[in-house]
Structures are given as structure tokens and as C-alpha cells.
Amino acid sequence: MRAKSYLVFGLGRFGSSVARSLCEQGQQVMAVDTNEELVQEIAPYVTEALQLDATDEAALATLEVSSFDGAVVSIGQNVRDSVLISVLLKEMGIPYLIAKANDELHAKVLRKIGVDRVVFPERDMGERVAKSIVTPGVLDLMQLGDDFQIVEIRTPVKWAGETLADLNIRRKYGINILAIHRNGSYMVSPSADSQLEAEDTLLVIGKEEDIENLDA
């Protein structure tokens, strides 16, 4: 199966976590932000990192957007820029588009302009009602194309009390942990010495079959 290619716009905590984790999973990632410092920070961890104003249609066109499998617009605070970039990406033929929203009004606008999936990263783990899907322990998911998912799961019993370093999750299970939700707060991009607790919920990214095998 060929590696897929993704554009990630906005390299704050959520955007950079998604970009790094996709790349660690063997996908091709171009990370884009107007902030030179953020671009330099992410550069060692992704396929390519660019300082570019994606609201500039001419500049965005140079990326040949339609050649990518999908894009993530992780620009939550500036609603205008978020909407404008999403509109331009759809017009340029991006096959699949995920965008981060601040609130329901922002989300409504994004859906109206054709965004395929609207996400609330700070809210999704804790507030969305668990829905029953095939994989045991899965609370919610965001589809990234045909076979890649960002999924919220309950911490597997066998992981409780272990650190991320001890578990070596990426090597053993083929997934990455984007965030840990504990006692109403979120730890984004947790460190290797973070110890998991039985009541934690985890936001993970990986291929569908790897996530389905977690409880195997």
C-alpha cells in the first residue's frame, strides 16, 4: 500500500501533533505555517515544511493541492483565515479536507463550504457521546481518507500503569498517541515518561487495522 500524502496548515499544538504522527506512520506530510519558528521546529519531523501564507491564492496554488490525498486545516483562532484556506483548497481540488473549528458557528460555516470533516480537538475527547463501532473501547473517530483514523479510545487494561516509553506503542502497535485526557484536562503530545492510568482516554492516530488489533 502506497504512502498517502497530506497537507497540514497551522502548526500549533494540534496541527503539529497530527503532522508529526502522520509522518511517523509512514505518510508523506507537507506542514505549512506563516510562523517561521514553528516551521523550523516541525521541519525535522515531516517530509517538508514550508513558511507560506495559505490565504494567498497564488502562493497556495504553487503547492499543487490536487496532487495530495487530503489536508488538515488546523487554524482555530482566526476564523476568517480558516474559512478562506478551506474554500481555496476545495476550489483547487483537494480530495479530502478536515478543518478545526472553534465553535458551532465556525463549524457550520466550514460545513457549508464543503469541508468533509469538522473537528473540535479540545472538545472531541471529553464531550462527544461514545458511539458503538466495531472496535472495542473506541469512543469516537475522525476518518483521514480510506484507511487512516484519529480515534479516541479507552486505555487498554494492560497499558495502565505503564509509561509510553515502556509500551513502545508505535513499534509494537503501529499507532501514535496524540493526547491523553485525564480528570477533565488534556496532555497534548505527551512525553515518553508519561504514565497511563486506567481511567485515561487516549486520542490515537493510525491505520484502521492497527487500531482494531489493539485489544487482540
CA-closest candidate to residue 176, choices 198, 207, 146: 207
Sheet holding 97-100, edge to edge: 48-51, 28-33, 5-9, 70-73, 97-100, 117-119
Tell me, what's the pLDDT at 31?
A: 97
Q: Is residue 131 over pLDDT 50?
A: no
pLDDT digits (tens, 9 = 90+) for 151-184: 788 898 899 999 999 999 888 888 888 888 888 7
Sequence-distant (6+) residues with CB within 8 A of 97 are 70, 71, 73, 86, 89, 90, 114, 115, 116, 117
pTM score of the predicted model? 0.63
DSSP β-ladder status, 48-51 and 138-144: unpaired
Q: Is residue 93 over pLDDT 80?
A: yes
Classified by CATH at the fold level, domain 5-119 comes out as Rossmann fold (3.40.50)
Superfamily of domain 125-212: Regulator of K+ conductance, C-terminal domain (3.30.70.1450)
Please give the backbone phi and psi of residue 2, each rounded to the nearest 5 degrees, phi first.
-70, 150
Interior CA angle at 44 toward 120 and 72, to 5°?
Answer: 25
Tell me, what's the pLDDT at 134?
A: 36
b/e burial code for range 77-93 (CB count within 10 A of at least 16 → b): eebebbbbbbbbbbebe
| Domain coordinates in residue numbering, the chain | 5-119, 125-212
